[in-house]
Structure 1
Amino acid sequence: MRLLPGEFQDAFVQSPNVFMLFMAMGLAAVIISVFWMLSGMGAASSAARMALRAQALKRGKDHRALVLIGEIAGGGGLLRQEMKEAIEDNFGLFSFEQNVQVDLFPLRLKTLPSTAHHEPRRRIAVEAAAALERSAADVIVWGKRTLSGRLDLRILTLPSYGRTHEVQEIELAWKTGRPDELVQRALAFALARKARPVLHRPQDYKPERLHPIVEALDQMVEARGNELSEGLQLEILSDFASGALSLGERGGHVKWLQKSLDARQYYLDKVDRTTDPGAWGAAQQEIGRALTALGEREG
C-alpha cells in the first residue's frame, strides 16, 4: 500500500471494501483487455498464415486436382493426415487422373446441420468458397467428429455462374489409426465426384476408360454397410448404375446391364419421388434403357 499515492491510501483506510472492489474491477478490465488483444493478434496471425498458404498453392497450381482439407473439429492431426493419404491413394480410382494434390489447409469452419438457419450456413459456404478462389483449389472438405465417433463432413466446390453455393453433407464411420478401406474410398469418391466428375455423362468417354471406375464402384456397392451415410451410398449406387449401363449398351458384358438394372431398382426403393422427382425420373429412364438393351441381347 505504501507504493500507492496518498489519496489511494486514505481511501483504503476509510473504505477498504469499496477500495478493493474498484481495484478488482480495474484489474479485471486490464485482464480482459489483454485477452482480447492477444485473441486479435492470434486471429490476425491465423488469417495471414492462411493467406500466405493460399498464395503459395495458387502459384504452384498445375493440371492436377487440388483438394483442401480444412480443420476437423475434435479430430486432431492424425485424422487429417489419414484423410490426406486416403484421398491420394484412391482419388485415381474414380477419375482419369492418378495424381491429386491434397493440402492440409489452415481453415476452421463451423459444421452446421442442414436444419440450421440459412444465413449462417450461407456465410460459411461463402468463406469456404473464398478459400477455394484464393488458392485456385477445386474442392474443400471440413467437418467435425461427432460424439458417436463418426465424421460429419461438408464438401464444397465453386458454383457455376449464377448459381448459389451448394454444400454437400456426408458421414463416415472413420476409425482413426485403422480406417476401413471402404470408408477411405468413399471419401475419395465424394471428392473426385466434385472435382473431376466422370459419370455425370458416361457416354462421353470410351468404354475402356470407364471400365476401371465402374469396377471400383461395383466393389463399393457390393460392400455397402452402415459405415457411409445414406446420401453418399445413393450417389455411389447412382454413378455405378449409370456407368454399368453405359458399358452394357456399348457392347460390354451383359452382366453390366443386369447390374445396372438391379442397382437402379434398389435406388428407386430409396428415393422419394416427391422430394427428388428429377432423380426418380432419370432412374426410371435408365431402367427402361437397361430392359431394352437386355431384350435386344437375349433376342
Structure 2
Amino acid sequence: MVNFAEAAATFAPEMASNVMRLLPREFQEAFVQSPNVFMFFMSMGLAAVLVSVFWMLTGMGKASRMARIALRAQALKRSKDHRALVLIGEIEGGDHLLRQEMKEAVEDNFGLFSFEQNVQVDLFPIKLKVVPPRAHPETRRRIAVEAAEALERSAADVIVWGKRNFLGKLELRLTTLPSYGRVHEVQDFELGWRVGRPDEIVQRSLAFALARKARPVLHRPQDYKPERLQPIVESLDRMVDAHPAEVGDNLQLDILSDFASGALSLGERGGHIKWLTKALDARQLYLDKVDRTTDPGAWGAAQQEIGRALTALGEREGARDKLEEGAARLRLAMDALRSTDSLQQAEVALRALQRAEQTLQQRRRVGLRWPG
C-alpha cells in the first residue's frame, strides 16, 4: 500500500527547492533573510490571486446566464403569436424531468380552463429566489420585478418558479405583468407532485393556476356566453368534488371561488337550477374560510354572490324566505365592500338588492301567495 504521508515528506522539499529556483534572485535573498515574513506576503498574494480568480469565474458565470436569458427571451418574443405563453423557471431541488412533466401537464390541461386549447410553454433558463409568504414585502417585490422583467423581454403572459422541499412538495410562485397603476404581486401555492407519476388532479390544478392568470375567464363570467362557459365550470366542478389533499389551501380556495362564480353565472342566465344550488354551497364553503377583518373584499364579494344565488333561487321557487335572506346578505356585502376599492362588486350587489326588493314588493302589491 502506498503511504501518501511518506511520499509527500519525500517530494515536498524537492518541489519547494525547484519552485524557489524559479523565483527572481531578489525573492530568493528575501526568503533567506526573513523566511517567515516572505512566506506571509507570499500567502497573502496567493490568496489574492485565488479570490480574484473566483470572482472572475463567478462574474463570467453570471454573464453567461444573463446572455442565455436575453437570447432565449429575444427568440420567444420574435416567435410570439396569439397563444398564451407560459414560462417555467428553475425549480430548486428539482431536475429537468420535473420541469418537463410540468410543461406537459400545462399543455395537456390548459384548454380545460381557457377558451384557447393551445398554449406555448417554455422551460425558461432563469433562477428566481423562493422566499416564504411572510417574507418582507420589499424582498417579495424585488423578486416580482425581476420575474416581470423576464415576462416583458419575452412577451410572455405568466411565469412560474419554485422549489421542491424535503417532503417532495412543490412550493411554487407565479406572477404576471401588473396592470397600470398596480404593484407587482407574487402568488404562492403548493402541490404534492410525484415525479414520474404525478396525479391527474395535481396536473390540472397547475394548469388552472396558470390559465386563470394568463387567460382569465371567470373573473367576469357574465361577459361570455353560457355555452362557452359551461365546459370550464364543469371541469372545476369535478375538481371541487375531488378536493385533493395534494393541492394547497390557497389554490383550492381559488378553484372554489372561480367555480362558484361560474356556476352562479350559468344559473342566473337560465341554466339548470342545480348550478344555483352548487354556487350557493361552494360560496358558503368559501366564506367559512375567509375572515372579514383580514380580507373584507373577498368576504364582501362572497356575501354578494350568496345573496344573488339566494335571490335567483327565491325567484324560481317562489320562496319568500330565500328572497329575504338574499336581500339581507346583499346588504351585508354592500357594507363590507364600501370599505374596499371593489366598487364594481358593490355596484353589482346594489343592483341585485334592488331586484330582490322589487320582487318582494310586486308580490305584496298584487297579493300573490307564496308557495307552501
TM-score range, shorter chain: over 0.9
Mapping for residues 1-299 of structure 1, pairs under 5 Å: 1-299=20-318
Report how far residue 267 of structure 1 moved. Answer: 0.6
> In the alignment, residue 237 of structure 1 is paired with which amino acid?
L
Report how far residue 162 of structure 1 moved. Answer: 1.0
> In the alignment, residue 292 of structure 1 is paired with which amino acid?
T
After superposition, what is the alpha-carbon deviation per residue over 1:128-168, rounded to whole angstroms, capped at 9, x for unaligned?
A: 11111111000111111122221111111111111111111
Please give the alpha-carbon distance, in whole angstroms, between the structure 1 residues aligned to 2:80 and 2:96.
24
- Computed over aligned residues only, the root mean square deviation of the Cα atoms, in angstroms, reads 1.2
> In the alignment, residue 122 of structure 2 is paired with which amino acid?
D
* Structure 2 unpaired stretches of 5+: 1-19, 319-372
Please give the alpha-carbon distance, in whole angstroms, between the structure 2 residues aligned to 1:268 and 1:244.
16
Please give the alpha-carbon distance, in whole angstroms, between the structure 2 residues aligned to 1:118 and 1:272.
21
Please give the alpha-carbon distance, in whole angstroms, between the structure 2 residues aligned to 1:25 and 1:229.
53
SS in 2 for 1:2: helix
Report how far residue 18 of structure 1 moved. Answer: 3.0
Please give the alpha-carbon distance, in whole angstroms, between the structure 2 residues aligned to 1:6 and 1:133.
61
Report how far residue 24 of structure 1 moved. Answer: 2.2
Matched-pair identity in %: 81
Report how far residue 41 of structure 1 moved. Answer: 1.1
Q: How many residues align?
A: 299
* Structure 2 length-normalised TM: 0.78
* Structure 1 unpaired stretches of 5+: none
SS in 1 for 2:193: coil
Report how far residue 40 of structure 1 moved. Answer: 1.0
Alpha-carbon contact 2:141-2:185 (below 8 Å) kept: no
SS in 1 for 2:238: helix
Please give the alpha-carbon distance, in whole angstroms, between the structure 2 residues aligned to 1:137 and 1:243.
26
Please give the alpha-carbon distance, in whole angstroms, between the structure 2 residues aligned to 1:289 and 1:260.
10
After superposition, what is the alpha-carbon deviation per residue over 1:192-236, rounded to whole angstroms, capped at 9, x for unaligned?
A: 101100001111111111111001101110111321121111110
Report how far residue 57 of structure 1 moved. Answer: 0.5
> In the alignment, residue 239 of structure 1 is paired with which amino acid?
D
Moved more, 192-201 or 250-259: 250-259
Please give the alpha-carbon distance, in whole angstroms, between the structure 2 residues aligned to 1:287 and 1:115.
31
Report how far residue 35 of structure 1 moved. Answer: 1.3
Please give the alpha-carbon distance, in whole angstroms, between the structure 2 residues aligned to 1:118 and 1:273.
22
Please give the alpha-carbon distance, in whole angstroms, between the structure 2 residues aligned to 1:12 and 1:73.
50
SS in 1 for 2:21: coil
Moved more, 253-262 or 54-63: 253-262
> In the alignment, residue 201 of structure 2 is paired with which amino acid?
L
> In the alignment, residue 227 of structure 1 is paired with which amino acid?
E
Alpha-carbon contact 2:113-2:232 (below 8 Å) kept: yes
